[in-house]
């Protein structure tokens, strides 16, 4: 597979070069969260939403953790300070907070009329019509709390990782003692379920857990692996120093390694790949630390029914 990457970074109008999360909405607009504001890109123009002390309807919180579009097509943005809902008609945000400091929020998923969110690494429900928070009390809660008791400050906790962890705890609750020691000694940045295996991207290799044999093995042990996403029988894996790897999802054999090459105009723009996203057109978006996002040039003109206006 030949990739011809195009970068969308600060030079193209992005508010900041570190992209933390990505979402393509039902209009075909691409939303990008950064360390300094929220960006929306229509394939032609980028628009930025930032926190402003002079505007009560501005985004609350500069560091964007996650972006989510509900089944009712409402856009929610979770930041290090608040849960924000965008009023698309006015371009203003409504803010929802717990009486806590800080209010570091990440959105995991929607469950019926609730969003499942993490607030300061604790599980909460957010009711989408009452706009109220309530604690999550289910079989996952004690497993979640036990995990984050030893992982409170990990900088790579993303909504992608947290959603995968929640699913993992739901399905593997009885096997958690097998993982307790692993989670204690390895920094898990992402995980993916592939057949009877869990693949875990960690700071000391790519590890595989066989759910039938209840055994671990390390696939690659010399690199820091930061993120993963599955698409079309392939596992896309971001590394800290070696760019983007594409593996066969069934065998985990390496099919391609994509690294920055300054001699090549359309190579990936950096070798620290921190977040990956596959959109509804099966196009890859890869955030590169400090250099915004890279996507295949086929997706430069998004399938958008809306054009941004200044």
pLDDT at residue 1 in the model? 64
What is the Cα–Cα distance from 224 to 272, expressed in whole angstroms? Answer: 10
pLDDT at residue 110 in the model? 97
What is the Cα–Cα distance from 286 to 88, expressed in whole angstroms? Answer: 26
- The proportion of the chain whose per-residue pLDDT surpasses 90, expressed as a percent, equals 71
In sequence order, what are the beta bridge partners of 247? 235, 254
pLDDT at residue 175 in the model? 66
pLDDT at residue 251 in the model? 95
Q: Is residue 301 predicted with pLDDT exceeding 80?
A: no
Q: Is residue 178 predicted with pLDDT exceeding 90?
A: no
Q: Is residue 12 predicted with pLDDT exceeding 60?
A: yes
pLDDT at residue 299 in the model? 55
pLDDT at residue 172 in the model? 74
Average of pLDDT values for 276-291?
93
């Amino acid at each position: 597979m030949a990739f011809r990457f195009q970068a969308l970074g600060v030079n193209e109008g992005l508010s900041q070069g570190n992209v933390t999360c990505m979402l393509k909405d039902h209009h075909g607009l691409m939303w990008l969260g950064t360390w300094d504001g929220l960006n929306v890109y229509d394939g032609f123009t980028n628009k930025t939403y930032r926190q402003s002390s002079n505007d009560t309807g501005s985004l609350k919180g500069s560091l964007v953790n996650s972006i989510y579009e509900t089944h009712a097509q409402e856009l929610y943005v979770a930041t290090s300070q608040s849960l924000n809902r965008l009023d698309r008609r006015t371009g203003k945000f409504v803010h929802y907070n717990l009486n806590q400091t800080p209010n570091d929020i990440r959105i995991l998923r929607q469950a019926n009329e609730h969003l499942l969110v993490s607030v300061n690494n604790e599980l909460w429900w957010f009711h989408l019509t009452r706009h109220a928070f309530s604690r999550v009390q289910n079989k996952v809660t004690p497993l979640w709390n036990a995990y984050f008791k030893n992982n409170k400050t990990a900088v790579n906790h993303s909504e992608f990782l947290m959603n995968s962890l929640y699913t993992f705890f739901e399905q593997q609750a009885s096997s958690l003692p097998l993982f307790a020691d692993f989670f204690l000694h390895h920094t898990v940045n992402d995980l993916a379920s592939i057949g009877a295996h869990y693949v875990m991207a960690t700071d000391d290799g790519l590890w595989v857990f066989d759910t039938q044999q209840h055994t671990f093995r390390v696939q690659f042990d010399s690199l820091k692996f930061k993120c993963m996403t599955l698409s079309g029988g392939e596992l896309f894996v971001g590394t800290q120093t070696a760019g983007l790897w594409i593996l066969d999802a069934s065998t985990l054999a390496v099919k391609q390694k994509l690294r920055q090459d300054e001699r090549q105009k359309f190579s990936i723009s950096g070798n620290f790949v921190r977040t990956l996203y596959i959109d509804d057109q099966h196009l890859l978006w890869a955030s590169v630390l400090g250099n915004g996002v890279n996507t295949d040039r086929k997706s430069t003109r998004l399938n958008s029914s809306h054009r941004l206006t200044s």
